Amino acid sequence: MDRRIKYTKKIIKDTLIDLLSKKDLKKITVSEICKEADINRATFYRYYLDVYDLLDKIEEEFVNDLKNATNVTNSDTKYSVFSFSKELLNVFLENRDLAKILFNTNNNVYFLNDILEIAYEKCRDKWQHDLPNISKEDIDYASVFIFNGALGAVNYWVKNDFDKGVDEMAEIIERLSYYGTENFIYKKYKKNS
């Protein structure tokens, strides 16, 4: 892709992200984006259908970055919640403004379904390897429980302005995934009381 095209698309995307930090998507117009980005409408429409299409493209790019990050751990036969989480959390941190907006704009975070599918496959493969008799139903229940909890923790982390380091968050997700609240909270605080 031509450098000028890349630059123009980046300016348009950055402008939408900036506007979304100030107001709701429904209140943003193509004209406003063009004015802020200092481009004409024809340039905008050369690449995007409307504001919603632009946001969809931004989400797609973000999800692709997340998928590329998981390729490192995906090819690894040894499953590690910590390494998998860390790779994803680094992408969130590198795209902190976008992550804040995407979690605020999409309360159901449907844009992460592809990543959840990758995580599901890793869990399924690990559990089927370790426990050959495990049922699909048990895999489904366990993975839904873990992923929704992990996603909630990431959402909380994003909304708290990334108040913990990536390693600390990955460790929290791993400990809660493997041991639940018993190990994470009770054992940690019972020692001190």
pLDDT in tens, 154-188: 989 999 999 999 999 999 999 888 888 777 777 66
pLDDT in tens, 80-133: 788 888 999 999 999 999 888 888 765 556 777 777 887 788 788 888 888 889
State phi, psi for 166 to the nearest 5 degrees.
Answer: -60, -45
Q: Report the chain's mean pLDDT, rounded to a whole number.
A: 86
Collapsing DSSP to helix, strand or coil, 57 comes out as helix
Whether 73 shows a pLDDT value over 70: the answer reads no
Q: Which one of 3.40.250.10, 2.40.50.100, 3.40.50.1110, 1.10.10.60 gives the CATH number of domain 1-48?
A: 1.10.10.60
Among candidate residues 59, 58, 60, 55, the one with its CA nearest the CA of residue 25: 55
User: Domain ranges in the chain?
Assistant: 1-48, 52-190
Helix ranges (H only) for the chain are 3-20, 30-37, 41-47, 51-74, 81-94, 96-105, 113-130, 136-159, 166-181, 187-190
pLDDT, residue 75, reads 47
Whether 25 shows a pLDDT value over 80: the answer reads yes
Whether 39 shows a pLDDT value over 80: the answer reads yes
pLDDT in tens, 128-153: 888 889 999 998 898 888 888 888 89
Q: Which one of 3.40.190, 1.10.357, 3.30.70, 2.60.40 gives the CATH number of domain 52-190?
A: 1.10.357
When mean pLDDT is compared across 9-13, 71-75, 107-111, 116-120, the lowest value belongs to 71-75
- The Cα 14–Cα 19 span in angstroms is 9
